[in-house]
Chain A
């Protein structure tokens, strides 16, 4: 659970940086007071949670089908962790990061009440390296509950960054926070790379 939480915390920072500034106006547009903002943000986060639970279920069943052998269960995820972790580190380097948030597509949604839900779907299905890593983790868990717990921890870690969104305008030194967030994403990638290498070597030795 620890590494899923950390992955969520570190990837959430970079997600906020690319998507947050797009989502914020849509979340706030037409809002009337704190209650409306809270409802919109809650709908957005709830939608993300539902999508993540669906992904957790799919990942676990997929993993059960593919990773039946204990050695395969260590070696294949080990390789996947390394590949996706390298992608995460690469992603954290600003020129490689796609500056366009997929949430921009929300412009096509006319009904404002559906916007938070639509944003939640688009944001959670934005296939970034962090999501690939958590999908790999979900696929390798022993039970479905453990897969849900991993995705829940990832959700909590990534959602914390969205909570202060309504106050975004008041935060000074945004550039510094953005830089630190991106660097933390890269570090999370390195952590998973090491985890992947350790799993891989352990799997090879035990196999």
Chain B
């Protein structure tokens, strides 16, 4: 009777709802999860492991949505009731044991996510360095969410700091006694991430919600003791219930399981993140294929001849190209005057193949983006944006000197084009100000 009073029915019910809801959300039942899992490779290890650890059920579409969550919650609510009903009467120990297992699960699940997210930021590859095209895009043409990501790119030191906080929290989660402290870090951190996701209309608020949800079992377990200690100034007793691992059948596997966890989520993730970070031409967001040699830069369009007609410089002509940016990789982007661009929504944040890496051209206006393939002295341009699938060019490339590029060829409609590009020595205040410092008085740029 006494133990029954300690565990009122609503507490038992809540515990079972939590176990079922968190379990159902964490249980991957869809083929795409396993497809990634079984084709996991070292080359795409980071994007794969990020995908797998943050995978959430999506029974109603490509991405997880409110409907999935509501459905799983309903199942959990009903399931927990059935569970309680069918269950033989147990003692308080059983409740503690279930709760204990739930906390172990969320600790390690959280730690896995935080290690992956943390190493991606410690070695700041979570967002790529700013592309030249983005530097040459007017502020207003970047969508809110893109602004958040680009602002992180503008100062990798901040990203490194965020990574360190996540890694500290992840390490603290590995130990039962410091898990509560970890959660005190994680709740505001991901609570903030959730609000940022909402404010900037980001795609990942379900992931941050999931992370905050995972912290709750740990938080709720200790929060009363914390309140009694620091708010009420009372003499406070520590948590008394302990699991006797000697009585647990699978406890001999604990050490090996921990070793595997540490090997995968610390050693492998850290090594792979570092190797990408250190490699100048590797990125998780831009194509890994290099562009033409020594071509990277901003070019003004000196002459533009369309079907034999030379189009003069004009502030209003929306056919003529205004400027062209060549990236280090096989992308060039073209600025035209005041064109209306048809954006396409971004897909998953990390993509394996170059073809699917849409980071540079989604949620961005002002410029048209082309990926090119090189054969001999020709390049074939293709606009990867699905709204522009006919937007292709074939150009013969002539480079009379290191500053000039002549393109001659056709677009898909067969119009002939002769374009003369002239490299400009563009200085970016974003980088120049770091050299001179902000105290520079009367600095000209």
Q: Do A and B bind each other?
A: no
